[in-house]
Structure 1
Amino acid sequence: MLTSEIEHYLREDLGYNDVSCTLVPDMEAHAVIFTKEDCTLAGLDVAKSFFDYLGINAETEYMEGNTIKKGDVIFSLHGSSVSILRAERIVLNFLGHLCGIATLTRRCVDIVRNFSDTKVACTRKTTPGLREHEKKAVIAGGGDPHRFNLSDSVMIKDNHVKMMGIESAIESARKMASFTQKIEVEVESSGDALLAARLGADIIMLDNMEPSAIIDTMTTLRKASVPEHVIIEVSGGINLGNLDEYAKTGVHVISMGSLIHQARWVDISLEFLS
């Protein structure tokens, strides 16, 4: 994390007159950060950035993506008592949020693995300013980050199609995109999926389609001898309750905005030791 980012977050939390943290004597202290529930770890590098900036020695035996149990100590901290108090809430907020994303992602990946090796991906439905960290948390949970931003690839969505039509949109994308950028087209029917494939789309997203319709579309594409390099992705309305049905469809990627926006924070705490 950049120094400017660290200072931004500290400024937001400390304000101009931090009496709370300076009530205690500034002395060498030992504290631990531990989890109150089983989880998958993410955000360790973010936490370490704050500890390093504040001169706190932070030791951990874990790595991103490790699964830990309730009561396990994530970090052992040594340093200024005031500095540890100032780092506490920011670090716990990041860890709680990012571990929550990683834990939900790991759960979804495990469900899909019962049926196939289909990738589980997140989307651009992220918290402004936190996308980098939220997507890295998905990676820690075994998921795929999808696009980090609009420049990573070209996605032709329903609104593009409404204004231009699939053929014109793909033609324009092929003219404007770099050879390094894949072109993805969002469709809602087997016919449009086949059209997108024939027009040279690299990725076809089947949006808001029921599993039965997806299976029919996959059959249609196979019968049409769509090139094997074309990636088939599904998205829209997929959650823990129906994920297994989508995992059975034979698609290459299942993308879920819920990996981030529906992830519950993990309960993580800091405690000073005597």
Structure 2
Amino acid sequence: MFQFHPLSSATRERLVAAGLDPDAVAGLVRMAVTEDLMGGVDVTSVATVPSDQRSVGTFGSRGDGVIAGLPVAAAVIDAVCGDAASEFEYLVADGDRVAPGIEVARVTAPTQLLLTAERSALNLLCHLSGVATLTRRWADALEGTAAVVRDTRKTTPGLRALEKYAVRMGGGQNHRMGLSDAALVKDNHVLAAGGVREAFDKVRALEGAIPVEIEVDSLDGLAEAIEAGADVVLLDNFDPDGMRAAVKLRDETGPSVVLEASGGLTLETARVVGETGVDFIAVGELTHSAKVLDLGLDLHAIV
């Protein structure tokens, strides 16, 4: 069975600073590497690389984008190569923009183990950087408006905390992390409860104060949600004219209510939506459809 190593104190500190649970990341890393090894060994590296050989390699960008996930890649190196036998040097920071040819990290480690760790580290780093890159495009499109792009719960199972971290690195904000930290009353909840007011009252009756967001698909629904006392109202599939009318209604009847646009939004129309006066734009594609940022690991020296 492959022998995993604990995360270094430096990697754990960076993960904590990023708002990530080091133990959860370590578990994810073990799962990813175990899946890659399939109960065996890295037969190619074992066959071609002397067991006592050490190398210096760099993770580098092959495209334009935003980096996210360097501490996660470092966690892979720690777990596979061991803190005592490896060194991970950060050459840029998460959230930095990069261009092709930019080196983002340098690693010194036993060659066999470094090559074993390579794909798992890149799978996570490329994916998270892709999420950050797409989020940055939305944030750039909204620059100068009052609207902020934020994510949804349409995340990859097991990767929610990491993907939402990548959204933050790209300049976006997080919506609720899960079902328990905020209430989002959608059309099915309204139907099951017997109406907007009934659904709202049932949520408010729960112990503890939690934010309540109500989804509506019409101005009448918005008026009902504001009257009920919603903190946030999700405007589902409103066109820009409808959003502007919703903002006007909100300003006149419930100025403290936050409006969030959702449904059918595209990067090409983001600025038009932002200029309607809504506060947030909910974009599921940030996490469920982001294209990976192309990064690679290249060995430069045998030491």
* TM-score, length basis structure 1: 0.95
CA distance in 2, matches of 1:131, 1:80: 32
Match of 1:34, SS state, is strand
Q: Which amino acid aligns with 1:216?
A: A
Q: Which amino acid aligns with 1:7?
A: R
Q: Give yes or no for the alignment of 1:99 onto 2:123.
A: no
Q: Which amino acid aligns with 2:296?
A: S
Match of 1:30, SS state, is strand
CA distance in 1, matches of 2:178, 2:250: 29
Shift in Å, 1:107: 0.8
1:86 equivalent in structure 2:
116
Q: 1:177 to 1:143 in 2, by over 3 A?
A: farther
CA distance in 2, matches of 1:123, 1:239: 15
Shift in Å, 1:157: 0.6
Structure number having the greater helix percentage: 2
Q: Report if aligned partners of 2:66, 2:170 keep a CA contact under 8 Å in 1.
A: yes
CA distance in 1, matches of 2:148, 2:56: 42
Shift in Å, 1:178: 1.8
Q: Which amino acid aligns with 1:5?
A: L
* TM-score, length basis structure 2: 0.86
CA distance in 2, matches of 1:142, 1:20: 40
Q: Give yes or no for the alignment of 1:160 onto 2:185.
A: no
2:73 equivalent in structure 1:
47
Q: Give yes or no for the alignment of 1:62 onto 2:82.
A: no
Match of 1:124, SS state, is coil
Q: Give yes or no for the alignment of 1:209 onto 2:241.
A: no
CA distance in 1, matches of 2:164, 2:112: 32
Q: 1:212 to 1:177 in 2, by over 3 A?
A: farther
Counterpart pick for 2:206 among 173, 176, 191? 176
CA distance in 2, matches of 1:49, 1:177: 39
Residues 212-231 of structure 1 mapped to structure 2, 5 A cutoff: 212-224=241-253, 226-228=254-256, 230-231=257-258
CA distance in 1, matches of 2:123, 2:168: 19
Shift in Å, 1:177: 4.9
Q: Report if aligned partners of 2:146, 2:275 keep a CA contact under 8 Å in 1.
A: no
Match of 1:117, SS state, is coil
Q: Which amino acid aligns with 1:169?
A: A
1:5 equivalent in structure 2:
28
Any unmatched runs of 5+ in structure 1?
Answer: none
Counterpart pick for 1:143 among 157, 167, 172? 172
1:235 equivalent in structure 2:
262
CA distance in 2, matches of 1:69, 1:44: 16
1:126 equivalent in structure 2:
155
1:267 equivalent in structure 2:
294
CA distance in 1, matches of 2:159, 2:44: 27
1:37 equivalent in structure 2:
63
CA distance in 2, matches of 1:210, 1:227: 21
2:10 equivalent in structure 1:
none
Q: Give yes or no for the alignment of 1:251 onto 2:251.
A: no
Q: Which amino acid aligns with 2:201?
A: E
Q: Report if aligned partners of 1:42, 1:102 keep a CA contact under 8 Å in 2.
A: yes
Shift in Å, 1:212: 0.7
Q: Report if aligned partners of 1:186, 1:207 keep a CA contact under 8 Å in 2.
A: yes
Question: Cα RMSD between the aligned structures?
Answer: 1.2
Q: Report if aligned partners of 1:46, 1:94 keep a CA contact under 8 Å in 2.
A: yes
Match of 1:185, SS state, is strand
**Identity within the alignment, %:** 34
Counterpart pick for 2:216 among 187, 199, 204? 187
CA distance in 1, matches of 2:236, 2:186: 10
Q: Report if aligned partners of 1:239, 1:258 keep a CA contact under 8 Å in 2.
A: no
CA distance in 2, matches of 1:212, 1:247: 12
CA distance in 2, matches of 1:244, 1:221: 20
Q: Which amino acid aligns with 2:50?
A: P
